[in-house]
Structures are given as C-alpha cells and as structure tokens.
Chains A and B, each alone.
Chain A
Amino acid sequence: MEIPRGADTRVRPYRGDANSKGGGRSLQARNGGIEVENPYLPYPVRIESIVTETEDRNLKTFKLVFLDAEDEAKFRYHAGQFAELSIAGQGEIPIGIASSPTEEGYLLFTVNKAGKVTNYLHNMKEGDIMGVRGPLGNWYPWETLEGRNVVIIGGGFAFTTLRSSIVYMLDPANRARFNDITVVYGARSPGLLLYKNELIQWEKRDDITMHITVDGTNDPDWKYNVGFVPAIVKEKAPDSDNAYALVCGPPVMIKFTLPTLAELGFPPERIITSLEMRMKCGIGMCGRCNIGTELVCKDGPVFTFDYLSTLPGEY
C-alpha cells in the first residue's frame, strides 16, 4: 500500500471549526505492503538565485529549481503550506513557501538568519545544491474564501505565505473567485519591508487595496503610511461583512490586532493565522510541535483564532 506524497491526495481539514477533531484512526497496523515512499527524503534542488530582501541583510529570498522534473510534478502545493529546507551536513528548517502555486518552475523561500542552518544557507551561493521536502502542513482555506472579501494583515518577515496568497489570488485565473482584497503590511522601517518591487506594483493596481506602513522613517519621500499595523488596521477599518482576515506577524502585532478586528466585527472563526514551531519531521511524527492535541506541522500551521482558543495556550 503506497501513500503518495503529493498534497492533493490528502484530505486535510483546516482547523476552522472548533468541533472538528482529528480523524478516528484504526489502531491496527496496516501491514499490507512493503513499498513505502520515504517521507523524510528531500528532493534535490539547485539554488537558482538569491535576493537580499532587507537592508539589515538578515532576510534573503532563495529561488530553488528542482533537479528532476518529476519531483517538481510531485511537489504540488497550496498557498499557506511550508516545506523543510535540507542542507546536507547542516540539517533541516521548516520554512513557509513564499512562491505561489501559480508560479511554475521554481520555489521561493524567504529565510531569516537565525540559527545554525539559516546562517549556513545565507552563505550559500547560486548554483549550490540543497534539498526540499514537502509540501507540508495545511493551507489557507481557499475554498471557504471563495466569494469573500479577504483582508491580509502582515507584519515584519511573517509575510512570506501571505505573499504566496496574494500572488495566487491576483492570478488572472483566480482573481474572479475572490471579492475585495485588502492588504495591511508593515515593518519597522522601509528598509525592512519584503518584496518591495511587488508591493509597489500591487499598490498601482485597482483590484487590490494596499496599505503599506512602517513604524517610523526619516525618509522625506516616504509616501505610504506611518504607524503600527494595529493602528493602521483601525484607521483603514476594512469592512468585516462577508470578510475573512489572514493575520501573520510577531506576537505583539497579533496581540493588538485581534481586539481591533473584533471591534470591526470580525468573529474569531473568520480570523485565520499561521503558527511557527520548532519542528524536525514536519509530518506529525517527531512529537515536539504540538499544542494540546494539535500537531502544528501536520494539523496546522493554519488555524482560526476560534479554534486556537479551545487549545492550551502553549505556543
């Protein structure tokens, strides 16, 4: 019995409903077959290009290309999923996929320099060989979001899977599936915003409303907003009618954005976030990323705040 690795064969409930529970599974071992695809084996990829995103040089976007076209075909993903980046001799890191499924031929990962593997990765060169394992985890609930207004709120470098989502929704094949798209994205300073060229392009479009903001700046030519993300959300007051909010950012941003969204009339089951955790396996087996019953790597990383409120506050 072989379980394919591609995401679309897996029915992955997104944890939007507080009543949804992990499926009742048989305790019997299914010893039917001996052919088992190894879910720990990364696909080999080549670093095609590297872009330094921020002025502090702590964030770089890596464009990865599969060495084998068959692997690329198997790596079918949804916006909001993540992957394990693998570097032989260093280890693996769970990173959100910043490219959109509509961008074919490559994967994008924006990586913050923080630990052993990310430090090594930041020193790698174009042409170097590494690995990718995935796609992993659940994704933003695209079917639920159809016909809805989508409000995207991001802060700092937690904008990667939100970038994937925006590109996905703006794709000509998808744009009509969604109503208004509103984005509030902030960073400490203009130099710390990710994907600046794209932000400027989106700003000019009329099928997406952009509210770019920085906590502060000395730049006299800065023509966008100044202020913390929660304050800008309050000021721009996106309509909560028929709307869902996707919120990703540092804990302090989330803490102050949630009450603002509540005031605007967003119920917790329509506020969606993506969580980070220390992970190793990424497939729900190694045991470290749980919040109560939920394994963030496999049952998440996407949860509604309504569902999170039913879990122990251990994240």
Chain B
Amino acid sequence: MTEMYIPKNKIDDAVQEMMAQHKVFAPVLQGRFHDFAPLSSPEEVDWECRNTRLSPKGLFHRHSERMFDYSLSKDDPEAGILKESPKDFSPRVVLNIRPCDARALQLVDVNFDTPEYRDPWWVKRREATTLVGLACNDPCSTCFCGSVGTGPFDAAGVDVLLVDAGEGYVARACTDKGEGLLAEIASGEPVTAEIREKVEALKKQAETSMADLHLNLDLIAEKDMKELFNEEFWEDVHFSCINCGTCTFLCPTCWCFDIQDEVYEGKGMRLRNWDSCMYPLFTLHASGHNPRDQKLQRVRQRFMHKFKYYLDKYETATPACVGCGRCVQHCPVNIDIREVVRRMAASCVCPA
C-alpha cells in the first residue's frame, strides 16, 4: 500500500490536489463548534480540531433528505405521482474524519445496505466518497474507542489514514480507493524509517493514554435479551433523562428517521428527516396505543439497541457504538454511556 510523507508546509497543496477532482469536506470552525463543511480553499481546514460536534453521518444520511417531488396541480397529468428528486453523487473526499466516525459508517452499512433492500442515497454517497482519516494522537477524556473494538489509529473504516508526525503528515492508503486518491497527490515525499518509528510511538502513546474501560461486551452478548431488558437498573438509568434526543442526533451510529410530506402551492415533496427513539411520537400508533409510552422504555431502547439488539441481530462482536464520546460530552443531565454499559455487563444475577 502506498505511503507518503507530506510536510506541513505542503499540506495545503495536497488538499488543493484533492479538490481538483473531488468536492472536499473537512472540519471547519463554524461559530463555537466544528462541523464538516465543503471547502472552498485548503486554508479553511482546522487541523487542530479534535472532533466535530455533529458526526459526519449527515454527509451520507442527510439530516433532511428530499426523497421525491410531485405535483398536486389538477391540470397536471402526472399529478400525485412521485418522482425521484435529483441528487449530486459526484466524487468527494471527507478529509480528517476520525477513525471512530469512519468505523461508525461501516456499522451503519448493515442497516442501509442489506441483502434485501439497499438505501439508494446511502449506498451511492458511500460509493462516491473517499474517506481520509486523521489518527488521534491526543484522544479526549471522553473517548473510549479502544474499549468498543476500534481505536485512535484504527484504519478499518478509512481509505487513507493520516498521522500527524509533528512536522508533517504520514498518509497511508488502506483501500484501492485510497490508492487512487494518493496517486493524485504530487506533493508527497518518501517516508523515512525515523518517521515511521515516530508514527508507531504516537500510536502506542495514544492507545495507552486511554484507560481500558473493561466493558465486558462479551458478558452482555451472553445475557438473555429479556433478562437484560427487565433489569431493575433501567429505573436508575432513565431517571435523570429528559428525552431531549441530543445523544441520538450527535451519535455517529444512530440512523433512525421519519418520512413526511410537505406541500406548498400545488407542489410537494416527500422528505426524510432524522428521528429519535427518545420521542414518544416515534412509536405512537394511530389508535393511540404506544409500545414505548414510558420514558424508561425509550431510554432502555437506545442502550439495548446499541449494546444488545445490534450484536444479537447481526451476530457481531462489535456494538453499535464507536466510543466517540459525543453523547457523554453533550448530555444535559450527564448520563454517561460508559457507566450504563458497565451496568449492563455487571448486573449479573449469579446464584450466591
């Protein structure tokens, strides 16, 4: 696999080269927070950004997706017939995506790209996108990627992995798509043995800087779904939750959505919008019955989905969580998913 060293004084040139063939998205400071935005010039990239507030999932699963257009005008022979809304699926690069967020896209693939149905927008955007990851030399205090099957230097989800080696970046292709992108970069230099050693040291340092939380995911996997569902600790977990839904919107692996029609002056569109299992309306039947009308049920659903249902359904050892820590950082009532998972794993009803 191709590897190159790009000195920091040439990194803007490298980004410019990417921009020649692709639309490039990268973390840009917008107000108080960073967000992924299309670049108009390489200088806009904030290379010091630790991570964006919103995950980059919105680049693939849009916060609001225009699905179909239609006319409701009486004299239109096609009135009431839905037509696919035009979309741009031209090649693009997502630059400086963190390894956890890239891994999250793979975890969400099992939902949108299935043997029976393929979500066209998700699949086509995934296809059109090259992910250039930036390894985390200095993980946040809320990060726990290493405890959920990924890590600060995990290359599993990216096409190219960049490592900040001090005076420059080491870029390594991880997929054929990544090879293709690096072939377009002329500003690269060979990687010296000294720099390679440095990268290894940085990796080790980053990994050891994060405490292993010993989440015992295997224990959760072994537990009976119904038993875990009926545990008493959910009473404690849900108590402070205000069902604001912040965690679900920030989460890189939360994919739930709603579908709504909007009409204005005889023209309409069908939209799909992010939705959240935190809201009572999410599961409310037209009859008035609601299988999850209690807050406890909704809070439990979120954690059970990520750490139990997902594992059981897809027969994987990886939960639908990549340890990015956004929900820990932004929860208004300080619910800590690490603590919840510990309780899910620990509340073993063993005979004395």
Contact = CB atoms under 8 A, between A and B. Distances in A.
Interface of A: 3, 10, 12, 21-25, 27-31, 34, 36-42, 44, 86-93, 114-115, 118, 128-131, 276-278, 280-281, 283-293, 298, 310-312, 314-315
Contacts of A281: 257, 259
A315 to B, nearest CB: 5
A285 to B, nearest CB: 6
25 contacts: A10-B115, A25-B315, A28-B106, A29-B109, A31-B127, A36-B123, A40-B67, A44-B80, A44-B81, A88-B80, A88-B261, A89-B72, A92-B259, A129-B80, A281-B257, A286-B275, A290-B301, A292-B226, A292-B304, A292-B309, A293-B225, A293-B312, A298-B116, A311-B225, A314-B229
B32 interface: no
B119 interface: yes
B261 A129 contact: no
Contact of B277 (A30, A131, A288): A288
Interface in B280-319: 282-287, 291-292, 297, 301, 304-305, 309, 312-316, 318
Contact of B291 (A25, A115, A131, A314): A314
Q: Which 3 A-B pairs have the closest CB atoms?
A: A287-B256, A115-B286, A24-B315
Nearest to A84: B259
B348 to A, nearest CB: 19
B124 interface: yes
Given A278-B283, A285-B112, A36 B118 contact: yes
Interface in B48-85: 67-68, 70, 72, 79-82, 84
A128 B305 CA distance: 41
A44 B119 CA distance: 20
B275 A285 contact: no
B2 to A, nearest CB: 20
A47 to B, nearest CB: 11
Contacts of B72: 88-89
Given A92-B259, A286-B259, A312-B226, A293 B313 contact: yes
Given A88-B80, A131-B81, 11 more contacts: A25-B110, A29-B105, A31-B123, A36-B119, A41-B84, A91-B259, A114-B286, A114-B287, A129-B81, A284-B116, A293-B313
A27 B318 contact: yes
B82 A86 contact: yes
Q: Tell me the dominant secondary structure on chain B's binding face.
A: mixed
B46 to A, nearest CB: 28
Contact of B116 (A3, A21, A130): A3
A87 B286 CA distance: 17
A288 B268 contact: no
Nearest to A33: B127
A41 B286 CA distance: 23
Contacts of B256: 286-288
A38 B117 CA distance: 9
Instruction: Name which of B112, B285, B313 has the most chain A CB atoms within 10 A of its CB.
Output: B313
A38 B118 CA distance: 8
Contacts of B287: 114
A50 B313 CA distance: 41
Given A27-B110, A38-B84, A40-B67, A288 B259 contact: no
Contacts of A286: 256-259, 275
Contact of B259 (A89, A115, A280, A284): A280
B111 interface: yes
B208 interface: no
Given A88-B70, A88-B72, A281-B259, A38 B268 contact: no
Contacts of A34: 89, 124, 127
Contact of A285 (B70, B119, B285, B309): B119
Contacts of B229: 292, 312, 314
Nearest to A30: B113
Contact of B313 (A22, A90, A92): A22
Contact of B261 (A30, A91, A283, A292): A91
A211 B241 CA distance: 51
A44 B79 CA distance: 10
Contact of B109 (A27, A41, A314): A27
B283 A277 contact: yes
A3 B226 contact: no
A115 B289 CA distance: 13
Given A88-B81, A298-B116, A27 B259 contact: no
Interface string B215-227: 0000000000110
A311 B226 contact: yes
